[in-house]
Amino acid sequence: MPLPIASARSLKHTRRVICEGFKREDGLWDIEAHLIDTKTFSMDYKDRENGIIPPGEPLHGMSVRITIDMDLNILDAVASMDYTPFSGCKQITEAYKQLIGLQIARGFTGKIKSLFSGRGGCTHLLELLGPLATTAFQATHQERELAENFWQDGDKKPPMLDTCHALAANGPVVKEYWPHFYEHDNNKIIPTNSVKATESTDEF
């Protein structure tokens, strides 16, 4: 269902975040996240050419790329800033090499906040790392499922269970796709119809 019709208004700011996952020929994965902020009006900025940022020119234009393996270990990382409000912003990009050696798993969000919050990083690059991690999970999800037989009956509980409302262990999706892990809840009415399970993100 689309959003309801909005009141009369005029656009002032647009933020675009694009995340992509690429499988490399060597078997590793490149995950990229890009953030662009634009305004519909000009702004005065001393660090920019002619002292202004004209309408439509990015205020922020930043990117992060990580290279991961199938276990979501970060093997390489690089950050870049094409557009920044201040010339000194770009000095922090090398700090994101600290991502190398981390694993995208439970606790990842806490680790990146401790590394890159405040003076240790860029607010906007830090914001990108959340969707970057989710994209890493989504991009590799199917191949990791096939490798670990997540969809087969067995003793191993699929890791995506209980990571969101749709995949609750006492819900209709788990009842249909993983009945051996279904948790009966006598206080909850389980709908008879179910939704086809799709990719899920871990809680990082």
Other residues' Cβ atoms within 10 Å of the Cβ of residue 94: 10
Using CA of residue 84, residue 86, residue 90, residue 92, what is the dihedral sign?
negative
Lowest mean pLDDT among 11-15, 129-133, 150-154, 163-167: 150-154
Which pair of tokens denotes residue 69? 């393996």
Q: Smallest Cα–Cα separation from 122: which of 132, 112, 133? A: 112
**Residue of 192 and 101 predicted with greater confidence:** 101
Sign of CA dihedral 130, 134, 140, 143: positive
Q: What percent of the chain has pLDDT over 90?
A: 66
pLDDT, position 18: 98
Residue 52 pLDDT > 80: yes
Instruction: State pLDDT tens for residues 114-148.
Output: 999 999 999 999 999 999 999 999 999 888 877 76
Average the pLDDT over each of 35-44, 143-152, 180-189, 194-203 and give the range with the smallest value: 194-203
**Residue 109, pLDDT score:** 95
- Helix or strand or coil: residue 116? helix
Instruction: Report which DSSP code applies to 45.
Output: -
Grade residue 188 by pLDDT with cuts at 50, 70 and 90: very low
CA distance linking residue 36 with residue 61, whole number of Å: 5
pTM here is 0.78
pLDDT for residue 148: 65
